[in-house]
Amino acid sequence: MFLQIIKMFLLFIKSFGDFRTGGMKYLLYTGLIAFGVLVLMGVGIWKFSTIAGTWVASVIPWEWAQQSILFSFVVGFGVIFLCWILIKYIMLILLGPLLSIVSEKIEVKLKGHAEGKGFSLVGSTARTLRVNSRNILREIVMSLLLLLLSFIPGINFLAIILLFLVQAYFAGFGVMDFYLERHFTFKETVSKVYQHKWAAIAIGSIFTVLMFIPILGVAIAPYFTTIAATRYFTESDLIK
C-alpha cells in the first residue's frame, strides 16, 4: 500500500524532468484540449444545473421540496457533481490518442524500445472508449450511494473519504491504461490495476487535485500523470 503510494508520488515529481525531452508540443496539445473541454462543460453545467434542479423539484409531489432552498441546493450539487465526473471522462477520451503517444514515447526513452502493441489511432480510441465507459458507470453508481450516505450523521465523514478514493481510483485507472493498453487485454488490465490499486489511487488523487487548480492544473494534469503512470510500470518488474 504505502510503497505503491510513495513510488507513484515520487515518479510524478520525476515526470517534470520529461518536459525537457521533446514533450512540449504534446503538453501544449493536451493542455489546450483539456482547457477547452473544461470551459465548454463548465458553461453547460452552469446552465443545466439550474434547469435540472427546477425540473426535479417540479416533478416531485411534495410541496416542501418545491419550496425548499436546501432541496434545490442538494439537487443542484448532485447535478454539478455528476457533470464533474463526465468532464473527467470526456477529457480522457478526447485526449486518449495523444496521451497514448506520450506514454509510448516515454517507454521508448526508458527502455530504448516500446514493447507490446504499437500505437494505433483506431485501437487506442476504441480502447479508451471501452475503459472509460466501464468506469463511468461504476463510478456514478458508487458515488451516488456514497453521496447519500454522506448525509447520515456519524458515517458522513467516512463516506466523504470513500467518495474521494473512488474518484481517485477510477481517474487513476484511466490514466494508467494509456500504458497498459499496449501490454494487456481489457480483462487483464482490470486485474492489473486492481493489483496496484493504491498506485492508481495515488496518481488519480494527483489528477483530481490538479483539476481544481484554475487553468494551469487542468493543462498539466493529463500529461504529467500519464508520464508518471508509464514510469511506474516501465521502471519496475510489476508488469511481468
Q: Where are the domains of the chain?
A: 2-234
Question: Rounded CA gap, 91 and 95, in Å?
Answer: 6
Look up residue 50 and give its three cell numbers. 439550474
Look up residue 217 and give its three cell numbers. 492544473
For 236, counting Cβ atoms within 10 Å of its Cβ (0-12 exposed, 13-18 middle, 19+ buried), the class is exposed
Question: Rounded CA gap, 183 and 177, in Å?
Answer: 10
Q: Which residue has the higher pLDDT, 240 or 233?
A: 233
Q: Which pLDDT belongs to residue 239?
A: 47
Q: Roughly what angle, to the nearest 10 degrees, separates helices 186-195 and 197-211?
A: 90
Give the residue-averaged pLDDT of 26-43.
79
pLDDT beyond 70 at 182:
yes
Q: Which pLDDT belongs to residue 90?
A: 86
Give the CA radius of gyration of the chain.
19
Look over the chain and give the mean of its residue pLDDT values, rounded to a whole number. Answer: 81
Question: Rounded CA gap, 109 and 60, in Å?
Answer: 58
pLDDT band at 69 (very low <50, low <70, confident <90, very high): low
Give the residue-averaged pLDDT of 109-131.
80
- The pTM of the full predicted model, rounded to 2 decimals, is 0.83
Closest CA relative to residue 212, chosen from 199, 221, 202, 223:
221
pLDDT in tens, 202-233: 999 999 999 888 788 888 889 999 999 999 99
